[in-house]
Structure 1
Amino acid sequence: MLRTLTATMVATALLLSAPPAFAQAESSKSKFSAEDVFALEYANDVSIAPNGKHIVYVRQQFDEMTDSTKRSLWLIDVASGQHTPLFADNASYGNPTWSGDSTRLAFTSNRGGKNQIHVYWLATQTLAAVTAVNASPSQLSWSPDGRYIAFTMNQDAPKTDFAKSVYTPKKPKGATWAAAPIIVERTYYQRDGQGVLPSQYRQVFVVPSDGGNARQLTTGAYNHNGPLAWRRDSSALIFSANRNDNWEYQTGESDLWEVQLQSAELTQLTDRAGAEFAPAMSLDGNNLAYLWRSSEPEPYHNNKLQIHNFRTAQSRTLQAQLDRSLEQPKWLNESQLTVQYTDRAHTKVAVVGLNDDFYDVTDSLGGTYISRPYLSGMYSVAPTSGQIAFTHATAYRPADVAVITAEANAQARVLTDLNADVLDYRELASVNPIRYRSSFDGTEIEGWYMLPPNYDPNKRYPTMVEIHGGPHLAYGPVFAAEHQRYAAEGFVVFYNNYRGSTSYGKDFAMLLDGFYSSERDFADHMSGLDQLIEMGIADPDNLFIAGGSAGGIATAFAVGLTDRFNAAAATNPVINWISKTLTADSYLGQIRNQFPGMPWQQLEHYWNRSPLSVVENVTTPTLLFTGEKDRRTPISETEQFYQALQLKQVDTAMVRVPDAYHGVTARPSRIIAKVEHTVAWFKRYLKNQ
Structure 2
Amino acid sequence: MNKLTAVISGVLLTASLAPNLAQAQVDQVTQAAAKKKTFQPEDIFNLEHAGQVEISPDGKQIVYVRTGFDVMKDNTTRSLWLIDVATGQHTPLFADQFSYGNLSWSPDSSRLAFTSNRQGSNQIYVYWLAEQQLAQVTDVRQSPGNLSWSPDGKQIGFIMSQPAPKTDYAKSVAQPERPDKAEWGPKPLVIERTYYQRDGQGVMPSQYRHVFVVPAEGGTARQLTQGAFDHSGPLAWRGDSQSLILSANRNEAWEYQVNESDLWHLNVQTGEMTQLTSMPGQEFSPVMSPNYSKMAFLHRSNEPVPYHNSKLHVLNWQQQPRTALLQDFDRSVESPQWLSDDVIAFQYSDRGRYKLASVTMNNKRTDYVDDVGGVYISRPYISGSFSASAQTGLLAYTQSTSHRPADVATYATRMKKREAKQIHTALNADVLGQRKLGEVKEITYKSSFDGTEIHGWYILPPDYDPAKTYPTMVEIHGGPHLAYGPSFAAEHQRYAAEGYVVFYNNYRGSVSYGKDFALLLDGYYSSERDFADHMSGLDALIEKGIADADNLFIAGGSAGGIATAFAVGLTDRFRAAAATNPVINWVSKTLTADSSIGQITNQFPAMPWEDYKHYWERSPLSLVANVNTPTLLFSGEQDRRVPMSEIEQFYQALQLRKVDTAMVRVPEASHSVTARPSHMIAKIEHTLAWFKHYRKD
| TM-score bracket for this pair, using the shorter chain length | over 0.9
- CA-to-aligned-CA distance 1:87-129 (integer Å, 9 cap, x gap): 0111111111100100000010111111111000011101100
Correspondence 1:440 to 2:438: no
User: Aligned partners of 1:110 and 1:250: how far apart in 2?
Assistant: 34
Which of 136, 144, 148 pairs up with 2:143?
136
Query: What does residue range 235-314 of structure 1 map to in structure 2 within 5 Å?
Result: 235-314=242-321
- Partner of residue 604, structure 1: 613
Q: Shift in Å at residue 305 of structure 1?
A: 0.2
Whether the 8 Å contact between 1:367 and 1:478 is mirrored in structure 2 is yes
Which of 146, 158, 177 pairs up with 1:151?
158
- Partner of residue 67, structure 1: 74
The one-letter code matched in structure 1 to 2:411 is I
Whether the 8 Å contact between 2:413 and 2:420 is mirrored in structure 1 is no
- Partner of residue 563, structure 2: 554
The one-letter code matched in structure 1 to 2:567 is A
- Partner of residue 336, structure 1: 343
Correspondence 1:478 to 2:474: no
Secondary structure of the residue aligned to 1:507 is helix
Secondary structure of the residue aligned to 2:121 is coil
Q: Shift in Å at residue 288 of structure 1?
A: 1.0
Q: Shift in Å at residue 167 of structure 1?
A: 1.4
Question: Number of aligned pairs?
Answer: 665
User: Aligned partners of 2:46 and 2:33: how far apart in 1?
Assistant: 25
Whether the 8 Å contact between 1:361 and 1:409 is mirrored in structure 2 is no
**Does 583-592 or 409-418 show the bigger shift?**
409-418
Secondary structure of the residue aligned to 1:566 is strand
The one-letter code matched in structure 2 to 1:52 is G
The one-letter code matched in structure 2 to 1:362 is V
Secondary structure of the residue aligned to 2:265 is strand
Secondary structure of the residue aligned to 1:115 is strand
The one-letter code matched in structure 2 to 1:581 is T
The structure showing larger relative contact order (alpha-carbon pairs under 8 Å, at least 6 residues apart) is 1
User: Aligned partners of 2:537 and 2:281: how far apart in 1?
Assistant: 37
The one-letter code matched in structure 2 to 1:106 is A
The one-letter code matched in structure 1 to 2:424 is L
Query: What does residue range 188-587 of structure 1 map to in structure 2 within 5 Å?
Result: 188-407=195-414, 411-587=420-596
- Partner of residue 41, structure 2: 34
- CA-to-aligned-CA distance 1:614-656 (integer Å, 9 cap, x gap): 1110000000001111111111110000000000000000001
- CA-to-aligned-CA distance 1:490-529 (integer Å, 9 cap, x gap): 1110000000000000000010011000010000000000
410 and 278 in structure 1: CA distance in 2 versus 1, 3 angstrom threshold? farther
Correspondence 1:615 to 2:598: no
The one-letter code matched in structure 1 to 2:625 is E
Query: What does residue range 82-93 of structure 1 map to in structure 2 within 5 Å?
Result: 82-93=89-100
Which of 171, 178, 181 pairs up with 1:171?
178
Whether the 8 Å contact between 1:428 and 1:484 is mirrored in structure 2 is yes
Q: Shift in Å at residue 457 of structure 1?
A: 1.1
The one-letter code matched in structure 2 to 1:543 is L
State the TM-score, normalized to the length of structure 2. 0.94
Q: Shift in Å at residue 240 of structure 1?
A: 0.1
Q: Shift in Å at residue 235 of structure 1?
A: 1.1
- CA-to-aligned-CA distance 1:441-480 (integer Å, 9 cap, x gap): 1100011010011111111110000000000000000000
- Partner of residue 685, structure 2: 676
Correspondence 1:97 to 2:121: no
- CA-to-aligned-CA distance 1:644-686 (integer Å, 9 cap, x gap): 0000000000001101110000100011000000000000001
The one-letter code matched in structure 2 to 1:357 is K
Q: Shift in Å at residue 26 of structure 1?
A: 7.3
User: Aligned partners of 1:177 and 1:612: how far apart in 2?
Assistant: 42
Whether the 8 Å contact between 1:155 and 1:200 is mirrored in structure 2 is yes
Q: Shift in Å at residue 596 of structure 1?
A: 0.8
Q: Shift in Å at residue 406 of structure 1?
A: 2.0
The one-letter code matched in structure 2 to 1:312 is Q
User: Aligned partners of 1:396 and 1:591: how far apart in 2?
Assistant: 39
Secondary structure of the residue aligned to 1:470 is coil
Secondary structure of the residue aligned to 1:556 is helix
- Partner of residue 114, structure 2: 107
Whether the 8 Å contact between 1:568 and 1:620 is mirrored in structure 2 is yes
User: Aligned partners of 1:200 and 1:233: how far apart in 2?
Assistant: 31
Secondary structure of the residue aligned to 2:119 is coil
The one-letter code matched in structure 2 to 1:216 is Q
Q: Shift in Å at residue 409 of structure 1?
A: 6.6
The one-letter code matched in structure 2 to 1:539 is D
The one-letter code matched in structure 2 to 1:227 is P
Correspondence 1:45 to 2:49: no
User: Aligned partners of 2:418 and 2:325: how far apart in 1?
Assistant: 22
Whether the 8 Å contact between 1:351 and 1:406 is mirrored in structure 2 is no
Secondary structure of the residue aligned to 1:593 is helix
Correspondence 1:650 to 2:650: no
- CA-to-aligned-CA distance 1:147-187 (integer Å, 9 cap, x gap): 00000000000000111111112222222211111111001
Secondary structure of the residue aligned to 1:495 is strand
User: Aligned partners of 1:137 and 1:417: how far apart in 2?
Assistant: 32
User: Aligned partners of 1:463 and 1:176: how far apart in 2?
Assistant: 57
- CA-to-aligned-CA distance 1:399-453 (integer Å, 9 cap, x gap): 0001111256763211000011100000001000011000001100011010011
Whether the 8 Å contact between 2:51 and 2:64 is mirrored in structure 1 is yes
Whether the 8 Å contact between 1:205 and 1:217 is mirrored in structure 2 is yes
State the TM-score, normalized to the length of structure 1. 0.96
Whether the 8 Å contact between 2:351 and 2:512 is mirrored in structure 1 is yes
User: Aligned partners of 1:52 and 1:463: how far apart in 2?
Assistant: 47
User: Aligned partners of 2:695 and 2:195: how far apart in 1?
Assistant: 46
**Does 407-416 or 372-381 show the bigger shift?**
407-416
110 and 486 in structure 1: CA distance in 2 versus 1, 3 angstrom threshold? same
Q: CA RMSD in A?
A: 1.1
Q: Shift in Å at residue 588 of structure 1?
A: 0.4
User: Aligned partners of 2:418 and 2:271: how far apart in 1?
Assistant: 46
Whether the 8 Å contact between 1:26 and 1:454 is mirrored in structure 2 is no
- Partner of residue 28, structure 2: none
Structure 2: any 5+ residue segments left out of the alignment?
1-30
- CA-to-aligned-CA distance 1:568-609 (integer Å, 9 cap, x gap): 000010111111111111110111111110111111111111
The one-letter code matched in structure 1 to 2:278 is D
Q: Shift in Å at residue 28 of structure 1?
A: 2.3
Q: Shift in Å at residue 370 of structure 1?
A: 0.8
Q: Shift in Å at residue 330 of structure 1?
A: 0.7
